[in-house]
Amino acid sequence: MHSSRGFHDYIVHDLCQHIAGITSRKMFGGYGIYKKGIIFAIIVDGKLFFKVGDTNKNDYESRGLKPFTYEGRGGKRYAMSYFEVPEDVLEQQELFSEWVEKAVRVNRENKKT
């Protein structure tokens, strides 16, 4: 696990530096990452999660990855449609950019419906 602030800076200022329109905001003890105003990722507890939908869910599930969950009232667990980004994706700039675009597309499509 990474320190949240240091990891945030690495993602936003290093990995995303070549992607136009990237911004971030603090939210719920973590960060929301946006491209041109569309949220596509969250950073929570020093981990990066991308938005997942029908078009990219298999990319994560085929690697055995699970959705981000949080504990709600009464100890109940809730799953969100964000999955942790695999380490190898974080290490390959071109692949990372492709996964960013897929996550942005998922949220863009969700906004149209």
CATH code for position 77: 3.30.1460.30
Task: Please work out, in degrees rounded to the nearest 5, the angle formed at the alpha carbon of residue 24 by the alpha carbons of 2 and 70.
Answer: 55
Determine whether 86 is exposed, middle or buried from the number of CB atoms within 10 Å of its CB (0-12, 13-18, 19+): middle
Q: What pLDDT does residue 101 have?
A: 96
Q: What pLDDT does residue 98 have?
A: 96
Q: What pLDDT does residue 36 have?
A: 95
Domain that holds residue 36: 4-112
Residues of the chain with pLDDT under 70: 1-4, 111-113
**For the chain, what is the domain count?**
1
Contacts of 27 (CB under 8 A, 6+ apart): 42
